[in-house]
Amino acid sequence: MTSILEVEQLDTLSSNASSTLTIGGTNTTTIAFGPNVTTTPSSLANTPSFFVVRSGTQSGLSADTATKVQWNSEVWDTDSAFDSTTNYRFTVPSGKAGKYSFTASIYTGNLQADNRYAINYFYKNGSETYGTAYWYTSGSNNAFPRSNVILDLSDGDYIEVYSRQQAGELTVQASTMTFFTGFKLV
């Protein structure tokens, strides 16, 4: 038999009581938050999260070669989990395993002709994974591929973004359209 307790508000006994509300005593208690929870407990926060951009143009990306994008400027990084100086990647902090959502958008220039392509790739632990995005040029030498992926990650796993293109030497442009962001799903 299941018992349901419905109340308008739970509060401590008096202003002199502890500010901690304790549910259960010696028994293990599990609380399932329903769809109408109006506040987010810290355990349900979408962190870690980060948003990084490319500061300045990254040049020297060879044709038909996947090259790591060097995300060198952090807009935010809640858990200091993004390395924007050496490896240019997000690493899952200890105790933060779970499902993560990632988006990468890369404004590439210098494709030299119409009907050329630029591609984004997500790499997990050094290997290509899901979330590839293609962009074919038409009427411009620039491309703007944007890719999204949801990955199940363990502590210590890392994610990088690579770009590949079909023409001479590609450049990754510093732009509002060039960014990499991610967050843990609740």
The answer to whether position 161 is within a domain reads yes
Question: What is the DSSP pairing of strand 58-61 with strand 170-172?
Answer: antiparallel
- Domain with 160, as residue range(s), is 51-184
| pLDDT exceeds cutoff 60 at 57 | yes
The answer to whether position 43 is within a domain reads no
Total domain count, the chain: 1
The answer to whether position 133 is within a domain reads yes
Q: Are 107 and 69 in contact (CB under 8 A)?
A: no
Work out the mean pLDDT of the chain and round it to a whole number.
79
The answer to whether position 178 is within a domain reads yes
Q: Are 181 and 52 in contact (CB under 8 A)?
A: yes
At 61, which CATH number?
Answer: 2.60.120.40
pLDDT at position 131: 67
Reduce the DSSP state of residue 44 to 3 states and report it. helix
pLDDT at position 137: 56
| Distance between CA atoms of residues 134 and 118, nearest Å | 6
pLDDT at position 96: 96
Sign of the C-alpha dihedral computed for residues 79, 82, 85 and 86 taken in this order: positive
pLDDT at position 4: 78
The answer to whether position 36 is within a domain reads no
pLDDT at position 158: 98
- Over residues 167-175, mean pLDDT: 68
Q: Are 121 and 66 in contact (CB under 8 A)?
A: yes
Identify the weakest region by mean pLDDT among 9-13, 19-23, 49-53: 19-23
Identify the weakest region by mean pLDDT among 1-5, 26-30, 57-61, 89-93: 26-30
Strongest mean pLDDT among 19-33, 52-66, 80-94, 98-112? 80-94
pTM across the whole model: 0.71
Give me the torsion for CA of 95, 98, 103, 106, rounded to 10°: 50
The answer to whether position 101 is within a domain reads yes
Q: Which residues contact 130 (CB under 8 A, 6 or more apart)?
A: 122, 149, 151
pLDDT at position 19: 55
pLDDT digits (tens, 9 = 90+) for 125-168: 999 877 666 555 555 566 667 788 999 999 999 999 998 776 66
- Over residues 26-51, mean pLDDT: 68
pLDDT digits (tens, 9 = 90+) for 97-109: 999 999 998 877 6
| Distance between CA atoms of residues 115 and 138, nearest Å | 6
pLDDT at position 7: 74
The answer to whether position 5 is within a domain reads no
Q: Which two tokens stand for residue 109?
A: 């220039």
The answer to whether position 124 is within a domain reads yes
